[in-house]
Amino acid sequence: MTGSNGGAQDEDSDPFETLAPLVRAATVRVHAAPSGYAPDGTGGASPGDVAARPWGSGFFVAPNWVLTCAHVALRGEGGAVAGGGREVGLTFEGRTVRGRVEWAEPMENSGHGLWPAPDLALIRLLEPVPHDCVWLTERTSKVFTRKEVAFFGCMEVDGEVEDVSGRCTIRGELGKDGKLRLGNEDEIPSGASGGPVVDLARGEVIGVLKARRGGQDGGLAISVVQLRGLPLPRQPATAESDDLFQRVIHAHDRHHADRHRLADTNRTTWTDAHNLLGAAAGRALSPGQRTELLGLLAELPPPVSTLSLLATVDELRGQPCENLPLAPRGWRDGLGLLYDLRRGQSELETVLRYCVHAATAERPYKAAHGAERRLWTWAAAVAASERELSRGFRNDLGHEWLARINDRRTDPGPSGVRAPGTVGPAAREAVSYPSVLLEIDRRGWERDSYDWRIAIVDEDGDVLPVAEGADGTRLGELPMRLSAPLAEAFRRCDEPGRRAVLQVALVRALFELPVDTWCMPADGPPLGTLRPVVVRPADPDYDPDEVGEDAALRRARWKRVQAGPMEPVILDCDAGTPVQVPADAELRFRGLYSVPVLCRASDTADGPATLRRITRAGYGVALWRRERAERDLVCSEFHRGVLHTIASAAQADRLPEEVRRLRADLERSEPEAYFSKGLVLLYDDPTRPLPGTDQPLETP
């Protein structure tokens, strides 16, 4: 079949001997920035410079890009800073150049001991120099292999810096954030931190060496899959350079495709090594085809969203992708999810259909001229050359290509860019989209200690776990602890022009927890300015499975405010004068279109009790403010502003976005938004209850 390898390596040969020269050529030493540039202007160390003592190792993953550990890149005192990034020195193949740390996570280690995951950094060379690059896996496996792996780096021996390598096995995972446990079959020197960990059977880098663990096992590595956690652009991407992940990964795949296509016959490439290893034996694609395909996919803009990519992969697989450590982010990631689904021709058929979907997908920005056609031409040629593929499949593949070209909901031109505003008028019926659910529970037996769970609620209301913390977290540490898992959950749900709603499930005693003001990352804008943040009671007064009048009233209210229009009703204030909240019977029999508003809920100790009465009366949507300062000065402005906000939304499903706009205006110090300081939106859908005790939300 297509993936057979006539030149597979002899069983008695050692794959290490094939791969070691390729890996060593791409491995670097990371150290302090050199004191000056070489006289020839190349950026290398000038004659007479003494080799710097290395902080650790790293390796080229793309032309002019080095991957290493954050604790290696940020090691040492001081360090030159230029343009906001720290400068470091990189030595390889007898040459020393300067690099700048473009990204590191974390930026520092606030505690002692090992740096927290992902402990990765990307360094960009400040001047172009010729070099080799490793091959990064496109798979999403957690542990990857039970067979032997190799590691590479450097170490100091009697004052001299030497290259070093070794072999060990992967014993399993440590935690749920990409840390791989390495066996103690070989000694891991400290200078090797940041170096590559290579799967010898498949011939690909699967991890970054993090640390040795004396007396426990051999050490730790970080899965390269954690690179998918690189921050998304804060603004919609208009070019590949706007997204660091796509920028580096696309350059990686284009590099290897170029080397394969234009290779000097006297120089072994990674694709040659894959052939020698028999790395694709029994697979749908030969090593050469895989390299070519990844290069073609790298010429395309990335998917418009992770959600759309997962939908494509799920459709072609015929089953959902489950238990992913990090969701796919680019076309190469999606391809990696198709490899191990089936064997034989059905796998090839799935891959070729994936090519058609990638070539005809919507684009966040214009594709390079001819890139889509080149991918289709490649897929059609592979289909035509494969004897075991039926004529019917080849015809169906061509029909699917033409149908998707004609049906694409974008500009009629060849770029595939989604045309803003071309998707018809706004629907009057509420539309469901995936959202992110954050549950925070106070540990009653421990002071200032909280457990949390993060999940995705899909369009059908099904709850899919993402991460959890059941070891107790202090309140002030929650934003930092939740930053990475929330970013992953958002990435799986967000689409262009629509960021997923964050539902925060809290017990009423925590309703004033200002999650919308949290900054993630710490130097970013408040969370509530970027996406809608709403509150749900984690301790509802009703049984989600209840029947009878109460259940009917609750659902009727929800359906009515979703259809709109809504009528805001301020319950506890009349023109600046505090008034009693109406009795329960009056609350219960108000119009179905009513939306309660509390002006003074935070002024009194019975605020949580008032909110409980409101939800008990069947209301799923309500607004109040948690700020107490200068309440008498802005009471009328609050009334006017919140009434206008509800009227502008018209339908309840638009209210979360209206509140987000207010928070964004407030962050920009727009005077018209001052009334909304501390505004909280209750948005509790009775048709989609929170997971209860009979629905354990546990990460896989």
Question: Comparing C-alpha atoms, which of 580, 659, 651 is closest to residue 625?
Answer: 659
pLDDT above 60 for 412: no
Other C-beta atoms closer than 10 Å to the C-beta of 395 total 11
Cβ atoms 325, 263 nearer than 8 A? no
pLDDT above 70 for 634: no
Between CA 648 and CA 335 the distance in angstroms is 44
Q: What residues are paired with 121 via a beta bridge?
A: 68, 104
pLDDT, one tens digit per residue, over 220-254 is: 999 999 999 999 888 888 889 899 999 999 999 99
State the pLDDT confidence band at 430, using cuts at 50, 70 and 90: low
E-only strand ranges, 516-589 = 533-537, 567-570, 573-574, 577-578
Report which residue type is found at 435: S
CA triple 234-326-442, angle to 5 deg:
85
State the pLDDT confidence band at 1, using cuts at 50, 70 and 90: very low
Question: Comparing C-alpha atoms, which of 317, 379, 321 is closest to residue 342?
Answer: 317
Please spell the DSSP secondary structure of 8-29, one letter per residue: PPPTTS-HHHHHHHHHHHHEEE
pLDDT, one tens digit per residue, over 274-317 is: 999 988 877 889 999 999 999 999 999 999 999 999 999 999 98
The pLDDT value given to residue 43: 44
- Lookup: tokens for 636: 């009328």
pLDDT, one tens digit per residue, over 657-679 is: 999 999 999 998 887 888 898 99
Instruction: State percent of the chain over pLDDT 70.
Output: 85
Between CA 257 and CA 251 the distance in angstroms is 10
The pLDDT value given to residue 36: 54
The pLDDT value given to residue 345: 58
DSSP character at residue 498: B
The pLDDT value given to residue 627: 67
State the pLDDT confidence band at 693, using cuts at 50, 70 and 90: very low
Between CA 277 and CA 200 the distance in angstroms is 9
The pLDDT value given to residue 415: 39
Of 110 and 589, the structure prediction assigns the larger pLDDT to 589
pLDDT above 80 for 534: yes
Q: Is 373 helix (H, G, I), strand (E, B) or coil?
A: helix
| Bond prior to 565 in cis (omega within 30° of 0) | yes
Question: Comparing C-alpha atoms, which of 441, 484, 474 is closest to residue 690?
Answer: 441
Of 53 and 21, the structure prediction assigns the larger pLDDT to 21
Torsion of CA 499, 333, 523, 484, to 10 degrees: 90
Longest Cα–Cα distance in the chain: 89
Question: Comparing C-alpha atoms, which of 25, 32, 72, 74 is closest to residue 53?
Answer: 32
Cα 508 from chain centroid? 31
pLDDT above 50 for 605: yes
Of 502 and 432, the structure prediction assigns the larger pLDDT to 502
State the pLDDT confidence band at 12, using cuts at 50, 70 and 90: low
Cβ atoms 115, 226 nearer than 8 A? no
Residue at token pair 């009048």: 549
Question: Comparing C-alpha atoms, which of 333, 199, 324 is closest to residue 253?
Answer: 333
Residue at token pair 């889509």: 372
Of 2 and 573, the structure prediction assigns the larger pLDDT to 573
Name the burial class of residue 398, with classes exposed (0-12), middle (13-18) and buried (19+) by CB atoms within 10 angstroms of its CB: middle
Of 353 and 522, the structure prediction assigns the larger pLDDT to 353
Q: What residues are paired with 60 via a beta bridge?
A: 66
The pLDDT value given to residue 42: 43
pLDDT, one tens digit per residue, over 374-389 is: 999 999 999 999 888 8
Q: Where in the chain is the domain with CATH 2.40.10.10?
A: 26-125
pLDDT, one tens digit per residue, over 251-273 is: 999 999 999 988 666 789 999 99
Mean pLDDT of the chain: 84
Please spell the DSSP secondary structure of 618-652, one letter per residue: T--EEEEE---TTHHHHHHHHHHHHHHHHHHH-SG
Question: Comparing C-alpha atoms, which of 617, 598, 508 is closest to residue 554?
Answer: 617
Question: Comparing C-alpha atoms, which of 152, 131, 148 is closest to residue 195?
Answer: 152
For the domain bounded by 26-125, which CATH number is listed?
2.40.10.10
Name the burial class of residue 163, with classes exposed (0-12), middle (13-18) and buried (19+) by CB atoms within 10 angstroms of its CB: middle
Query: What are the backbone dihedrals phi and psi of residue 25, each rounded to the nearest 5 degrees, phi first?
Result: -65, -20
Residue at token pair 């072994």: 268
Q: Is 335 helix (H, G, I), strand (E, B) or coil?
A: helix
pLDDT, one tens digit per residue, over 138-195 is: 998 877 888 899 999 998 887 788 899 999 999 999 888 899 999 988 888 888 999 9
State the pLDDT confidence band at 400, using cuts at 50, 70 and 90: very high
State the pLDDT confidence band at 694, using cuts at 50, 70 and 90: very low
The pLDDT value given to residue 544: 64
CA triple 331-292-347, angle to 5 deg:
65
